[in-house]
A and B are shown apart, each in its own frame.
Chain A
């Protein structure tokens, strides 16, 4: 086999190896930009977004790996919102606190004291459900920090809902 053949083969293999990464990096989160996520997570983030479905749904991840800080935004289109949304709400293992002024409806999932200190908000804009998971460290934050985190999660939820309207 010629040298040219090997070069082409290697190029194809390298291309195939990197293509999923390239694809992932090309898709931008439709509801929140990396700069806003970085503002919440406290520094530059690695952003990754799954390819959009035909309905435009996806999951966005923003991470600061070294700080174990992560923000995940998931959006799904529901076939029958009046029925389906309850299954999303059921994902809340803690106490669901109703939030006003975010989407059609939204709840903040207040976790038990033994939890890892993350914040979760589940909401809906028309027929689309969204879930926001925000975590800024490995352990539960102090009460003050947790309150700040809670505000930040609400602000992110408002951004996401705003983009979904």
Chain B
């Protein structure tokens, strides 16, 4: 009886055990299925998410396109297509993806960006970029254009000064565009929406994209604003939307820091306005030009004007505690002064004064009745006596600016030399470059400016650039070069002790007469910044050698700069003498010999040039500069193959040398190798799309190759860009009417208060 229950119990336990196992197996199975399900969901989630993202992106792109089309249609109805149907920016070059009007609302405001980028916003607000349109200095000029020729012509200026207005179709009569964006000028989203560059032609040579602050997973730009949280969750995608590699290149700056006056603007012909970009490219800082007098490490525009510094305010764009400056400090003190941006003004002045950009050298004196140059001052003993007439020679070197002094719209700026001689009591003996009581600069000052003139031979004083037909003179100093300024004065017979001589380079933004045009004559005085200066004491009696100032150049460089200045003033004999002093002091300095060779070439003494160049190559066998000039000598000597070999070597070292490309193109042309010549001229155009030699030769080469359309195009470009041979008549007309400054147009001139007969009578320079 006991066996049966036991068996039954065993069987029951077995069944129960089986059931439990089965339950466990079922549970495990279910768990497995669950895991697989969840796993599959997770496995496909990114794709699902991506698909959703893409759908959302597509939807936003479609929505934006619809809004844009509706907006563009509305603007088009009343837009003045004065320069051709569909052409929205001529006489400027601004372009936009989609090639039609883009609603200003598509651009996120600076406030939106500044919500996170506080440091960038703070700096930008005080910068020239944010004030590119609204300042009175700009408006005064562009308003004249609008009033005299029509608002449609202002698209030329505003392609850079107010891209949103141009691309939004706001620059037309009866505009329907709300101009609230004017006050932000080049706002964050203008620069950060540029998608590519057209070329380096300037005048707004960019292609604007539809602004976006985020890209989707596939990298497609999502138009419109997004919440901060979305940006914060995808910082890399934010970065992809608002940053492009080319933003860090000088070519990006060239889109606007290079300008010309095209035929549609002036109804005349293409005229170069300014090109800081090409000046930089020709400077030592680009490392693209083998012909510079000195060498330096590579430095882009951004390297000087967007220097990294620690940020005071929160800035997600900072890296390792530093942020690339969005102040773009340069030379403009007028805008921060006008708006009361004290911080920007202070940093601008600091920038101008502390960069070791200029060197002022009181290099030499020369006494009347004596041809001997007493130089270099400080290293040479000499005597001086009361009653003598002295010519002081100041050499100003554009030492470390990557462009000319002064750059860009130089007719508006004022940079000049103030030269003062005082006696031991501080009494002025001679003063050039002073400011008159009415704020105007002494008109006989040596000024690093130019004088554009119109067809009446009148200075284009209001920056009415569309009336410019000629330039009476241009005394700017190109990057790396030097200029020599001569001052002649008589030491009063009664003076005793010592004379103090000071040369300063001063800068005022803007020229006083232009400030008067803007504000009337009753405005406050605008800042004058002393960029660089040098003072020397000249004893009446004996002068011995003195210790150099820490900022002085070495004597060999002082001679070299004098030689460069003589060269630019076409005084070849004196230049060779100066360069000869360089090689006396630095016989190992290959460039000293090259400079002698170069001077001889400019003097058309090709045979004499060879020795210097060969000596330079002996010291420095692969010296591209010496090779380039030697190639020119070989050409003159009829050694065509040697000429090509030298130029090829130069290009191997400096593939972006415009001069070497140009000369090699000519060499091949002369060797009747049209295809090779064409390649060189086309490569030259890629470097400088405005090169006249390239236009001329390509017109010929294309025509011979049967490429008639291209030949016609190049021919037309050559004709419009070539300087009008009749234009100098306007310059001469201006100079005739302004004897007080006409001397500035002569490369070799002397500043003096003495009458001509007084100088000649004393045996001075004549």
Contacts and interface: CB of A to CB of B under 8 A. Distances in A.
A158 B519 contact: no
Interface in B116-159: 134, 136, 139-140, 143
A3 to B, nearest CB: 40
B179 interface: yes
Contacts of A36: 178-180
Nearest to B519: A104
B339 A35 contact: no
B740 to A, nearest CB: 28
A100 B179 contact: no
B177 A33 contact: yes
A163 interface: yes
Contact of A104 (B139, B175, B176, B523): B523
Interface in B167-213: 174-180, 182-183
Contact of A35 (B139, B143, B176, B522): B176
A9 B426 CA distance: 88
Contacts of A104: 519-520, 522-523
Contacts of A33: 174-179
Interface string B338-357: 11100000000000000000
Interface residues of B, number: 22
Nearest to A56: B147
B140 A101 contact: no
Nearest to B146: A163
B178 A35 contact: yes
A28 B143 CA distance: 16
Interface string B510-525: 0000000011101100
Contact of B340 (A28, A101, A162): A101
B161 to A, nearest CB: 12
Given A104-B523, A126-B520, A162 B139 contact: yes
Most buried by A among B134, B518, B522: B134
Contacts of A21: none
Interface in A55-102: 81-82, 100-101
Contact of B180 (A28, A39, A125, A127): A39
Interface residues of A, number: 24
Contacts of B520: 81, 104, 126-127
Given A81-B520, A101-B339, A104-B523, A158 B178 contact: no
A162 B175 contact: no
Given A81-B520, A101-B338, A101-B339, A162 B136 contact: yes
A165 B340 contact: no
Most buried by B among A103, A126, A127: A126
A159 interface: yes
Contact of A126 (B134, B183, B519): B519
Interface in B502-548: 518-520, 522-523
Given A100-B340, A126-B520, A163 B143 contact: yes
30 contacts: A33-B174, A33-B175, A33-B177, A33-B178, A34-B176, A35-B175, A35-B176, A35-B178, A35-B179, A36-B178, A36-B179, A39-B180, A40-B180, A100-B338, A100-B339, A101-B340, A104-B519, A104-B520, A104-B522, A104-B523, A125-B136, A127-B520, A155-B180, A158-B182, A159-B182, A162-B136, A162-B182, A163-B139, A163-B143, A165-B136
Closest 3 CB pairs of A and B: A39-B178, A165-B139, A101-B339
Given A35-B179, A100-B339, A155-B183, 11 more contacts: A28-B174, A33-B175, A35-B177, A100-B338, A101-B339, A104-B519, A104-B523, A161-B136, A162-B182, A163-B143, A165-B143
